[in-house]
Amino acid sequence: MNQVKSVLSSLFEPLTKIETYENLAIKIALIIIYIIVALIVTRILNKLIEQAFKMQNRSTKGNKKRSRTLISLVQNVVNYIVWFIVVTTVLSKFGISVEGIIASAGVVGLAVGFGAQTIVKDIITGFFIIFENQFDVGDYVKINSGGTTVAEGTVKSIGLRSTRINTITGELTILPNGSMGEITNYSITNGFSIVKVPVSVEEDLDKVEKRLNKLFTAMRSKYYLFITDPVVEGIESLDETKVTFRISAETIPGEGASGSRILLREIQRVFVQEGIKLPQPIYIKNNGKQS
């Protein structure tokens, strides 16, 4: 019985001393100060990182989308480092051995290593995506996995473990980086608009081509997405009813399809104004009937 009293006394005796509460209050105050300092430091460092990338872009004419991707990555890494320092400092103030925790974490890491293979794969793939510049924030991409399209849309954010993509219909798709197979990026190189325009075989082809060229000289100034004026490449095909012109134009990345739709609309408008006829189907009489 006396031994039990002795143990309880040794446990609760520090709580009866004013010095214990004073030390505890000091430690809590230090924790609050560390947290405030960490918040201020991370905010300042994040601003400095943004400014550094902006200055680099102005001096080297860098890619803005690439900069946004790298800014997000560097800021995340810096934030992790700052908060790791804060946590380890706080633990040391309470007499907890950081080295012991790290050693224990190593043992635990070996135990769960097989279960964490997917996470490791996601992170490694994330590094390759970012540093190989496979795509950036703002790019329009199509992601395939196992031969099936799993996402298509605009990249919203890229992390080490997952990527967020806004689809055409408005959904947000979150993909583990390790699950991505074939990646098609429509925003790296300039796009091309190619349309085939049929006209009646009876039309004056020189007149049609001249009118189209006149239309195309104003396209680049009218529509921002055209890098070059559209050109009539020539006659694509010819048969008994129609002559088909092939028309092409270079566009900004990811706008090839939009450019094709604009071309068709403008060409149709000019054809109506100029009275240029489209090919008509031929009806052949068979035993007094049309077919």
Same domain, 86 and 172: no
- Could you give the angle at which helices 205-216 and 256-274 cross, rounded to 10 degrees? 130
The tally of domains found in the chain comes to 3
Domain for residue 282, yes or no? Answer: no
pLDDT given at position 11: 44
pLDDT at 6 over 70: no
- What does the pLDDT average to over 214-221? 88
* pLDDT tens-digit series, residues 69-88: 777 777 777 888 888 888 88
- Quickly tell me which residue has 């703002």 as its tokens: 138
pLDDT at 68 over 90: no
Band of residue 196 on the pLDDT scale cut at 50, 70, 90:
very high
Sign of CA dihedral 100, 105, 111, 113: negative
Round to whole Å and give the CA distance between 180 and 162: 10
Task: Note down the domain range covering 65.
Answer: 13-112
CA 37 to chain centre: 33
Report whether 118 contacts 178 (CB < 8 A). yes
Same domain, 106 and 161: no
Record the tokens describing residue 269, joined without a space.
């408008």
pLDDT at 222 over 70: yes
Report whether 120 contacts 176 (CB < 8 A). no
Round to whole Å and give the CA distance between 162 and 269: 46
* pLDDT tens-digit series, residues 224-274: 889 989 999 989 988 888 899 999 999 988 788 889 999 999 999 999 998
Domain for residue 46, yes or no? Answer: yes
pLDDT at 22 over 80: no
pLDDT at 284 over 80: no
212, exposed or middle or buried, with CB in 10 Å at 0-12, 13-18, 19+? buried
**Residue at a domain's end among 112, 139, 155:** 112
State the pTM of this model. 0.52
Round to whole Å and give the CA distance between 116 and 7: 43
Alpha-helix runs per DSSP H in 17-97: 18-60, 64-93
Percent above pLDDT 90 for the chain = 16
- For residue 155, the SS3 value is strand
If you average pLDDT over every residue of the chain, what do you get? 79
CATH code at position 259: 3.30.70.100
Q: Between 22 and 191, where is the model more confident?
A: 191
Round to whole Å and give the CA distance between 163 and 175: 5
* pLDDT tens-digit series, residues 132-189: 778 888 888 899 887 788 888 888 888 778 889 998 888 899 999 888 888 888 888 8
